Amino acid sequence: MPQLLFVADPLDTFKTHKDSTFAMMREAASRGHTLWACEPHELVWQRGGLVTARARRIALTGDAHDWYDELESADVALCQVDAVLMRKDPPFDAEYLYTTHLLTQAEREGARVFNSPEALRAHPEKLAILEFPQHIAPTLVTRDMAAIRAFHAEHRDIILKPLDGMGGMGIFRVKDDGLNLGSIAETLTKDGGQTIMVQGFLPAIAQGDKRVLLIDGVAVPFALARIPQGGEVRGNLAAGGKGVAQPLSETDRAIAEHLGPLLAARGLLLVGLDIIGDRLTEINVTSPTCFQEITDQTGFNVAQRFIDALEARLAG
């Protein structure tokens, strides 16, 4: 049976009731696939050898807390398993980048890596939307204070966010009065030393920040609308947003149908589009989530669809 190696965060940090990587593992195990897991720091390459991982072969127990048993630990060459799934959560920092380079070397040696490490490097999650300006809100990428002030003067109600944040971290809204704009911009840009993104505020955030999953270029028919709670401007589940599954809107489908085939052809088997109202706000490729929330609320088995697509790629 196929052997799958998951490059991920420490297994003991998984929240199995909502973790999408766990959902993938559970579906794969139900089909008899062999599960291996490692962390990025356990990848090694040396001249004359192959990219290997000090990995653990695991079996799922069905217990919510002690959810896996470690069956063995071994040095595994990435090219000798059937698929490597890169599921390390952001931030996309230098260490993440170095991991993708090791994965690219593993590909040269014959490994099958999903998502493609080259595609991960080419699609930073905040900046990837720049390729599709017809779908996005008014957007500015800069570290120049004057440009930020001019953007606010034009749009009056804006969102400022770091390019390397996750889970809603570091997101600020500045309204028409411009209160604290200078302080927020100076902090996020580190006094002009770091580039940020500034966007026009989208009132449709009140109805949720929708996660639309693309699996091998095809949209899952339900999105998870992450709805801000308690006066928050952020819908992220990590920031306390409430996740409500709903059918894709006409606009959701149009955006997905435009981007899906393009991104799949670049080696992105799994993508999470973030859409507020009818505007695309992010293209998530590092470790897209929301599998279990959508499945639990709608009955549509996202993990099953994903493993189907992975098996089809391996067979192709």
Side chain identity, residue 95: E
Question: How many Å apart are CA 111 and CA 125, to the nearest integer?
Answer: 24
Question: How many Å apart are CA 216 and CA 305, to the nearest integer?
Answer: 10
- Count of CB atoms within 10 A of residue 74's CB? 12
Q: Do domains 3-116 and 204-302 have the same CATH topology?
A: no
Superfamily covering domain 204-302: ATP-grasp fold, B domain (3.30.470.20)
Nearest one of 47, 42, 16 to 29, comparing CA atoms = 16
Fold of 3-116: Rossmann fold (3.40.50)
pLDDT for the residue numbered 165: 79
Question: How many Å apart are CA 11 and CA 6, to the nearest integer?
Answer: 10
> Reduced to 3 states, what is the DSSP secondary structure of residue 44?
strand
Element (H, E) at 108: helix 94-108
Catalytic residues: 126, 161, 211, 226, 234, 274, 282, 284
pLDDT for the residue numbered 1: 81
pLDDT for the residue numbered 91: 85
pLDDT for the residue numbered 230: 66
Q: Which stretches of the chain drop beneath a pLDDT of 50?
A: none
Which CATH number is associated with domain 140-201? Answer: 3.30.1490.20
pLDDT for the residue numbered 239: 57
The two three-digit tokens of residue 129, written as one number: 């939307």
* Helix orientation angle between 20-30 and 302-315, rounded to the nearest 10 degrees: 60
Residue with tokens 């709608």: 298
- Delimit the domains of the chain by residue range: 3-116, 140-201, 204-302
Regarding pTM above 0.75, the answer is yes
Residue with tokens 């709670």: 229
Nearest one of 245, 246, 217, 237 to 305, comparing CA atoms = 217
How do residues 217-244 score in pLDDT, each as one tens digit? 999 999 999 998 866 666 566 656 789 9
How do residues 298-316 score in pLDDT, each as one tens digit? 999 999 999 999 999 999 8
The two three-digit tokens of residue 95, written as one number: 């260490």
